[in-house]
Amino acid sequence: MEEYAKVLRWSKDEAVYGLKTTIQLPKSAIFEKNVGFINFYLGVYGASVHYECGLSTKPAEAANDNWHWFWNTGFANDGGPYMIKSGATIPIELSMNCDNNLDFKVGGEVVKTFIAEAEPFGALTNARLVVAACDQKFESIPDPLPEWTTRHDAVTCDCLSFRDSCGTWVTMSSLNSNPPTSTIFWPTGHKHSGTPADYTTTLSVGRIIASLKD
């Protein structure tokens, strides 16, 4: 069982054909208990599978204070080496290609192509941007939950856009997306020792700036 906090921005369009953003990574991330991870990713549902693709880091001993790209379908996952520097600005994209397969692009380069197995790709649904941090994992949930210890300074997710059925990239705004109203916590219904995590967010057209600090 993981304990995490996250902020989401959802497209109101029921069907899209791509999602992209440019991420300026935090300059620092802190894992006081040397566990957990931080993920910023694009998520879509297509061909009966949820796809989550983005950038991630974990404690310094494993990541050397760097970030990497990753993908996860719930059935399989993988990622590149931890070579992306903190504070770097990296565009990421998850979109249908001309062969109706799904490309994950990092820095403009395709790092993974998903080919549908159970059914062909059509329009993508459940399109969202997720800013998230996992603090700890438990065999069983303690009550109360321990004090939150994973932190990061500001991440900027800019130029957040979806591709419509005409192939046009449309910037996300309050008119066509659901801006986050609060931080989502998991597991639900449990009190914390000390102060629980809470994201501070600043929203504007096509942009989320979020930080997880004391």
Mean pLDDT of the chain: 92
> Residue 16: its pLDDT value, please?
96
Look at residue 131 and give its three-state secondary structure: strand
Residue type, position 189, single letter: G
Q: Dihedrals φ, ψ of 92, to 5°? A: -130, 150
DSSP letter (8 states) at residue 168: -
Alpha-carbon distance of 178 to 128, in angstroms, equals 9
pLDDT level of residue 187 (50, 70, 90 thresholds):
confident
Q: Dihedrals φ, ψ of 187, to 5°? A: -75, 155
Instruction: Quote the Cα angle for 35-180-44, to 5°.
Output: 75
Alpha-carbon distance of 144 to 192, in angstroms, equals 5
> Residue 190: its pLDDT value, please?
81
Whether the Cβ atoms of residue 34 and residue 210 lie closer than 8 Å to each other: no
- Express each pLDDT in 196-208 by its tens digit: 678 999 999 999 9
* pLDDT at residue 170 greater than cutoff 90: yes
* pLDDT at residue 105 greater than cutoff 90: yes
Residue type, position 211, single letter: S
Q: How many angstroms separate the Cα of 158 from the Cα of each of 29, 106, 115, 173?
A: 20, 15, 28, 12
* pLDDT at residue 15 greater than cutoff 80: yes
* pLDDT at residue 145 greater than cutoff 80: yes
Whether the Cβ atoms of residue 197 and residue 212 lie closer than 8 Å to each other: yes
> Residue 112: its pLDDT value, please?
98
> Residue 214: its pLDDT value, please?
67
pLDDT level of residue 69 (50, 70, 90 thresholds):
very high
pLDDT level of residue 59 (50, 70, 90 thresholds):
very high
